[in-house]
Amino acid sequence: MATLKVEIVTPEAALWTGDAAGLMARSSEGEFTILPQHTATVGDIVPGLVRVATSSGELAFCVHGGYFQVGADEEPGVTRATVLAGIAERVSEIDVARAQLAKETAEAQLTSTADLDEATRAQLLGSLARAELRLRVAAR
Amino acid sequence: MAGGQERILRRRIKSVQATRKITKAMELIAASQIARSQARIAANRPYRQGMQRIIREAASADPAAARKMLTTPDKVDAAIVLVIVGDRGLSGPYNSSALRAGDRLVHMLQHQGTSVRLFTVGKKAPAFFRFRGLEVEQSFTGFADRPTFADARRVASTLAAPFVAGEVQQVLLVSTRFVSAGSQVVESEQLLPLVMPSDMEVDTSVGLKGYTEFEPEVEQLLSELAPRALESEIFSALLEGAASFHTSQQRAMAAATDNADELGQTLSRIMNRARQDSITTEIMEIVGGAEALRSGK
């Protein structure tokens, strides 16, 4: 039987690996679904939800931007899908209160400080975007 | 009197033993950190390999785009050198060998007429280069022991900016690679333009067997991928540097503990001799005194 092996990896650790029925995410060109026997593909993933359908239900991951590669595994009949993300987490593990606090802190600092240097500003915008994504994904 | 010397020796032994306690504790701490930092290298491996695999795949799909992205210009007017060392000393040759290699590299580049902008990671670097009259443009400190990906990202974005702006044509890295627990090697390598990962390092079991689809197009993908790959390479260098640091420190502190043991033994031997000497002298004096009394009778 054709199976799909999914790996979701971050630089700090492999977040999740296992067999799945399908993987759904959004790239810069739109939503896509990867099923077993998918053709070899390399692409990007825009920040958002990555869903993995497994035999025991659907797993949701919050991915803050990354890349994916799909290809045939050395094992015949197995398709491997690897998601590489700088930052990613299980949606069930998102701390909503913390994300809310992070969002408010970042917003407050962005509006209250007039002359931010570029690096700090980019950092604040980044953490604001991450907090907003976490909240959006968790509220789904 | 000889008792004075004995007291001095006793004090020295005590100080050697106190030092030994410290070195022993540092040895044990470093040993526990080795395992942890090795585990972090292992945890990083899937990501790094996945990144290299994607780059290879993209590069082999569109060699023209790859050549544009991955080729070093013949003439390098300006280059960035990043040297990664530790925040702390007492780690044997770990800091000094990477610093010396960095120093050599900078001199070599300057000799070739390339102007060098120096960036460093680790508290030990700025003082070294300042002493040698080299200006460090920016030094990152505070995370050499336990680097996080966010740290790597910060370093990467600082280094990528001048490269993207065209101010430098090359970014080089000098760091200690953790080959195994018994061997750490200082290496210099090129970070930017990206180096095509060699066959050795990449597991080619996935893909590469036919047509691969790319979304977005390869050229755009490669240009977006470059900064991510830089982060990944810097992060792995930081992780390996941390592991090498702990290994080197463990070894240095084990040697220091052994030396302290030996010194303590030598000193206590000298002290015992001194004590015996003083006892002998005392007996001689008593006997001599008794003899004198008897003969005077």
> Residue A126's domain is classified under what CATH number?
1.20.5
Residues A7 and A59 in one domain: yes
Kindly report the CATH number assigned to the domain that includes residue A39: 2.60.15.10
Identify the closest residue of chain A to B157 by CA–CA distance.
Answer: A119
SS3 A36: coil
Residues A53 and A103 in one domain: no
ω into B193 cis (within 30 of 0): yes
pLDDT of residue B100: 95
Residue B225 in tokens = 């991928």
Residues A67 and A124 in one domain: no
User: Is A40 within 8 Å of B209 when comparing Cβ atoms?
Assistant: yes
pLDDT of residue B268: 93
Q: Which residues lie closer than 8 Å to A37 by C-beta, 6 or more apart?
A: A2, A79
Please give the Cα distance from B277 to B1 (Å, whole number).
11
Query: Quick one: angle between helices B218-296 and B149-164, nearest 10?
Result: 120
Residues A73 and A115 in one domain: no
Residue A25 in tokens = 């995410």
Residues A104 and A83 in one domain: no
Tell whether B54 is within 8 A of chain A (Cβ): yes
Summarize pLDDT for A73-114 with one digit per residue, the tens: 878 888 999 999 989 999 888 888 999 999 999 888 888 877
Residues A29 and A55 in one domain: yes
pLDDT of residue A133: 92
CB pairs under 8 A between A and B: 102
Could you list the pLDDT tens digit for every one of the 297 residues in chain B?
456 788 899 999 999 999 999 999 999 999 999 999 999 999 999 999 999 888 888 887 777 777 767 777 777 889 999 999 999 989 989 999 999 999 999 999 999 989 999 999 999 999 999 999 899 999 999 999 899 999 999 999 899 889 888 899 899 999 999 998 888 999 998 988 887 766 544 555 444 445 678 878 888 888 888 888 899 999 999 999 999 999 999 999 999 999 999 999 999 999 999 899 989 999 999 999 998 988 876
Residues A38 and A88 in one domain: yes
Please give the Cα distance from A77 to A36 (Å, whole number).
8
Summarize pLDDT for B196-236 with one digit per residue, the tens: 766 544 555 444 445 678 878 888 888 888 888 899 999 99
Could you list the pLDDT tens digit for every one of the 140 residues in chain A?
678 999 999 999 889 999 999 999 998 888 999 999 888 889 999 999 999 999 888 999 999 999 999 988 878 888 999 999 989 999 888 888 999 999 999 888 888 877 777 778 888 888 889 999 999 888 87
Residue in A13, A29, A122 closest to B43 by CB: A13
Q: Which residue has the tokens 């590069």?
A: B59
Q: Report residue B96 CA to chain centroid gap.
A: 9
Q: Report pTM.
A: 0.85
Chain A CB contacts of B210 below 8 Å: 40
Identify the closest residue of chain B to A28 by CA–CA distance.
Answer: B216
Tell whether B204 is within 8 A of chain A (Cβ): no
Please give the Cα distance from A52 to A22 (Å, whole number).
6
Please give the Cα distance from B206 to B226 (Å, whole number).
21
Residue A21 amino acid letter: A
Tell whether B199 is within 8 A of chain A (Cβ): no
Residues A17 and A86 in one domain: yes
Residues A73 and A105 in one domain: no
Residue B176 in tokens = 């200690």
pLDDT of residue B297: 63
- Domain count of the fold of chain A: 2
SS3 A79: strand
Chain B CB contacts of A86 below 8 Å: 149, 153, 228, 231
Residue B171 in tokens = 């970014």
Residues A99 and A58 in one domain: no
Please give the Cα distance from B244 to B91 (Å, whole number).
10
- Tell me the residue range of the domain where A27 lies: 3-92
